[in-house]
Amino acid sequence: MEPRKTPAGFTLAEILVVMVVIGIVSAAVAPALVRGARPHPADAAAEEIRGVLAGGRRAAVRGGMPVAVELDTRTGRYRVAADDPEAPPGKPLAEGALELPAGVAVDPPAGVRRFTFGVLGAGQGAPVVVRGGGRTAAVQINPWTGEVRAAR
C-alpha cells in the first residue's frame, strides 16, 4: 500500500467559509423563529386568565377552604377570596389587573364572572371566551377535577 500524498483534513480557509455561510443562514432565519415564538394575542389573554383561575384553585386546596375568583370583564380586574357567605368580607387572597393585549375582547363584554373552587380542587364556572386578531380561545374549568385549561 502506498502512503497518501495529500494531507487529510480541511484548510483554515475552508472552515472559515463554512462558518460564514452558517452565520448568514442563521441571521436570515432567526427573525422568523422569534416571530413564530410569540403567542397570538387571544392565546396570551386566555393563558393570563387561566393563570388567575389556576391560582384560585391552588389557594383553595392549600388553604383547605372554598375560594371564589371574581373576574370583572369590564375593568379587567380580578379578585380571589375565601368563599364563605357567612363570614364578613375580609382581605382578598389576591387581586389585581389582567394584562390583556390590545385588540382582545372577553365575552361576555360586561359584568363580573364568578368561579368557585372547593377544598379538593373541584371547580365551577362557565367558560370564558377570548376573541382577538381573528382567533378565538376559551378558558374552561373541569367541574370534577378543577383543572383549568386554555384551548383554541
The tens-digit pLDDT sequence of the chain (152 residues) is 676 676 678 888 888 888 988 888 888 887 777 666 667 888 888 999 999 999 999 999 999 999 999 999 888 899 999 887 776 677 788 889 888 888 888 887 778 889 999 999 999 998 999 998 888 999 999 999 999 998 88
Note the pLDDT of residue 102: 82
Q: How far is CA 103 from CA 37, 61, 80, 124, 135, in A?
A: 19, 35, 26, 28, 11
In whole angstroms, what separates CA 50 from the centre of its chain?
7
Note the pLDDT of residue 53: 94
Note the pLDDT of residue 129: 92
Residue for cell digits 383547605?
64
What is the rounded distance in angstroms from the CA atom of residue 62 to the CA atom of residue 44? 27
Show the domains of the chain with their CATH numbers.
Answer: 41-151 (3.55.40.10)
Q: For the beta carbon of residue 147, count every other beta carbon within 10 angstroms.
A: 14
Note the pLDDT of residue 69: 94
Q: For the beta carbon of residue 131, count every other beta carbon within 10 angstroms.
A: 18
Note the pLDDT of residue 28: 83
What does pTM read for this prediction? 0.72
| Largest separation between any pair of C-alpha atoms in the chain | 98
